[in-house]
Amino acid sequence: MQQGRTLVLSVDRDDDIGYKAKVASPVVGRAACLAAANALGLADPEDSDTNAIFQAVKIYDELLSRGEDVEIALVSGNHMHMIEGDRKIAASLEKVVHETGSTSCIVVTDGAEDEFVIPIVQSRIPVSSINRVIVNQIPNLEGTYYIVKKLLNDPKVARFVLVPIGLAMLLWGIAYLLDRPQIANFTVVAAIGIYLLYRGSGIDEVFSGFANALRTSLTRGKFSFFTYIAGILLVIVGVIMGLMNLLVYYIEIGLLLYFLIFVYGAVLWLALAGIVSSIGIIIDNYFFDRESLGKVIVFPFFIGAIGLITYGASVYAIAMNNIPDFPYTTSSALSYILYGTLGGLICALSGIGIRYMVNRYLESQSTAEIIELV
């Protein structure tokens, strides 16, 4: 007989159990897992996670009938954000292992996506077996169409599939509306590429964090809420100015120069957006979290430095390629890159110096408070 307690673990990485059935995880125990499966089955009878939970209960009953010491649990992630979901699974599993005292684990999943969390499970408890549940279906055309339709109704899938298709069609229509069909292919490919990089590199998580910060600043009445809004508007203006520059200076050139022309029109606006937003963060830290002021005081200086250097470099690179109607010659563009680099370095050094003085001031204030207490 196997030594120690075995945990039969059903994994629902995309949190259908919470998103559809409103059941919070982790769920521990046979009765609780059956109740969760019934709730999910009633919420969405076609969800394969229901079968995975029932399979886990079946394995639990078989092991229990053989006299083994066994426990069953269900953990789930996040329906929209995989990184947050995987962290939730890790925390839930630690809690389950601690509460049940399990020494090994049998993982039950309904597909390859859930099996991405196997390394997370293995880092918390040894995995002795993996059981994938395959739901039998009749492979006809109508069934395939229905499956695709169900996938597209899922907000997580729809965002990844429908958004780039809709964006491509919209940009294509705009290009023809502006009587510039020659840039349609470029704008469509570039926009879809940016979107895929945005989703694939996890930048969407950054924007999600920004949205949470914006919501927090509003609910707590912080000044940064207004600077965040101003920053968003400036970003929109910057993107529009960059796209307008593409239309003004468009010729048959390489993709890199297209990007530089966009940067030339947008970067100062984007830098200004970053500076305005960071000023709000600095003000909030001054009033609510003065100990962290030294960490954020450099933000506007570093953002300004990056903006100046990038602007000078883009001006010089565009001028060197003799773009028609570009307002700067090679000689004047050289001064732009020199002054931009020098200004950026001065700006960055100023930020470092100010951070040093702020940290010294905060340390002196802390020391004075300690002396008063003594």
Length of the chain (residues): 374
Predicted confidence band of residue 202 (pLDDT cuts 50, 70, 90): low
Q: Is the peptide bond before 119 cis (omega within 30 degrees of 0)?
A: no
User: Would you say residue 184 has pLDDT above 90?
Assistant: no
Residue 247 and residue 180 in contact, taking contact as beta carbons nearer than 8 Å: yes
**Cα 25 to Cα 119: distance, rounded to the nearest angstrom:** 20
**Cα 75 to Cα 56: distance, rounded to the nearest angstrom:** 12
Sign (positive/negative) of CA torsion 347, 352, 358, 361? Answer: negative
Which residue from 3, 26, 229 is spatially nearest to 103, judged by alpha carbons?
Answer: 3
Q: What is the average per-residue pLDDT within 133-138?
A: 60
Which residue from 248, 314, 315, 242 is spatially nearest to 273, judged by alpha carbons?
Answer: 242
User: Would you say residue 374 has pLDDT above 60?
Assistant: no
Mean pLDDT score across all residues of the chain:
81
Q: Supply the pLDDT for residue 2.
A: 47
- Give the number of other CB atoms < 10 A from CB of residue 329: 10
- Give the number of other CB atoms < 10 A from CB of residue 85: 20
CA 136, chain centre distance (Å): 35
Q: Residue 210 class from Cβ within 10 Å (0-12 exposed, 13-18 middle, 19+ buried)?
A: middle
Residue-wise pLDDT tens digits, 52-93: 899 999 999 999 999 889 999 999 988 777 788 888 989 999
User: Would you say residue 145 has pLDDT above 70?
Assistant: no
- Left (φ > 0), alpha (ψ -120 to 50) or beta: where does 371 sit? alpha
Backbone dihedral angles phi then psi of residue 305, each to the nearest 5 degrees: -65, -45
User: Would you say residue 310 has pLDDT above 80?
Assistant: yes
